[in-house]
Amino acid sequence: MTAPSPNAPTNTLSPDEAMLCRAMIDTQLRPNGVTNGALIGAIAAVRRGDFVAAGQLSAAYADRAVPLSGARALSPVLTTARLLQAAGARSIDAAVTHALFTPQALDMLRASGVGEVWSTDCINHPSNAVAMAPLLAQALRDISAGSAPGRPGLSG
């Protein structure tokens, strides 16, 4: 039996999910060259089981895309990790237009290694960083003055 990965979660996952996470790190990531400790730690912090239906826990940790709903899928962790490592990611931040988050989403993003999360103030949320009213007011002034770029019939 191999020793558990030092970056594997210890208290945030159920025993079954922690075992699957350790196996994912030890059999998918490390043998395929994903060795950045911070990246492995961030991946281990994501409770992938929270994104799948009951009974699909093992699929959440398999090296394949897991269909969620509509056109969404839980991406294969090895592919994502390789891309981030190859890109030399030192930090991960997120900018979103509308903060349509579940109550726990911001905590989940931060626990998964996302540093900053910025959103517009169209939806009231702690991540609001961009005030839209001044931008919209200026756009409306430009439109009424006939100087909206990219609008047919208006100069710009």
Tokens of 45: 């912090």
Domain count of the chain? 2
Closest CA to 94 of 118, 130, 75, 113: 118
Q: pLDDT value at position 148? A: 65
- Do 118 and 82 share a domain, yes or no? no
The most confident of 17-21, 72-76, 146-150, by mean pLDDT? 17-21
* 3-state SS, residue 1: coil
The pLDDT tens digits for 72-97 are 778 777 777 777 777 787 777 888 88
- CB of 56 closer than 8 Å to CB of 105: no
Q: Which domain holds residue 86?
A: 1-90
Q: How many residues does the chain have?
A: 156
73 pairs with which residues across the strands?
67
120 pairs with which residues across the strands?
130
Q: What is the DSSP letter of 151?
A: -
Q: Which of 90, 108, 142 is the last residue of a domain?
A: 90
- Do 79 and 95 share a domain, yes or no? no
Q: Which of 53, 74, 90 is the last residue of a domain?
A: 90
